[in-house]
Amino acid sequence: MKDRHHGILLGLATYVMWGTSTLFWPLLQPAGAPEILAHRVVWSLAVLVVLMMRVRNLNWLRTMGARKLGLLAIAAALISVTWCTYIWAVNQHHVVETSFGYFINPLVSVVLGVFFLGERLRRIQWIAIGVAAIAVLVLAVDYGRLPWIALTLALSFGLYGFVKKKAGVGALESLSVETALLFVPALGYLIMLQSEGRATFGHASLAKDLLLAAAGLVTAVPLLTFGAAANRIPLSTLGFLQYVSPSIQLFCGVVVLREAMPASRWIGFVLVWIGLAIFAGDSILHRRRTPILSPDLQKAPFNGRCEPRPR
């Protein structure tokens, strides 16, 4: 129980940091999204190397194995897609759409659980997902296109959390491996920009250089807390905590950055909130009605009939 409480606090801290980072990335312009992404990777690895030196425990490398390494390589690719899409969208004044992507991400996590973990949904839960799908269609009509930014963020980050859960590697260790896998291409890209005279780092101002370097802390700290939370609480719980981040992003987009928010767009957001409320309410009611099982049965996979599912 104590471990679960720590996981919830770590998850909450993660999403507060991610939500407020919306106001950080525009400060790095005129650097483009790929350059900022490369700096995120390079400076994140520097932060992680310092942390690993303090821990001084490399025994986990012996148990890494090809399977875990492969999963972390996939996770590294997925988080790169998330990072680059998010940075580009924020700097192109699409903060509201990014918040929508993170609002639908919890439901994406639920769908991943259905298709990849064999989880079962009740009828009311499918209705909730259907309402969210209608919300996506409403926004597609409003934008005149599919909300591809939102969908890319929801899918890539949902899959990232799923893969991290499957890998089962410690937060610091997994993030170190992911960042190390991305380091060489990121550094190579920065060197290419410098050689072509297109780099921002070293050619703008000292303040800009320090902000680009700070991207390592802004990146590494919430990912560490996210990884730690993912290993302590269920994926569904972690998904619902994510409401904090898009709420902050939506506030920043509408109130701080003054992005357009017509009535039709509000309808799309209200629909997804209704879907989330239906899903959360059904989950709470079902939990209250479910009889308390013995510790052995609580640890066993659940097949919907209060008995262990064959492994």
pLDDT at 301: 37
Are 253 and 80 in contact by the 8 Å Cβ rule? The answer is no
pLDDT in tens, 36-88: 999 999 998 888 888 777 766 666 667 777 888 899 999 999 999 999 999 99
pLDDT in tens, 226-266: 778 877 887 667 766 778 888 999 999 999 999 989 998 99
CB-CB neighbours of 270 under 10 Å = 12
Question: Which residue intervals of the chain are DSSP H helices?
Answer: 2-20, 33-55, 65-91, 95-117, 123-143, 148-167, 171-195, 206-230, 235-241, 244-251, 263-289, 295-299
Residue 25 has pLDDT above 50, yes or no: yes
Angle at 3 between CA 71 and CA 292, to 5 degrees: 100
Picking from 17, 45, 86, the residue whose alpha carbon sits closest to that of residue 183 is: 45
CA atoms within 13 A on the CB side of 131: 19
pTM here? Answer: 0.79
pLDDT in tens, 144-164: 888 999 999 999 988 988 888
CA atoms within 13 A on the CB side of 111: 16
Q: What are the backbone angles phi and psi of residue 129, rounded to the nearest 5°?
A: -65, -35
How far apart CA 24 and CA 32 sit, in angstroms, is: 14
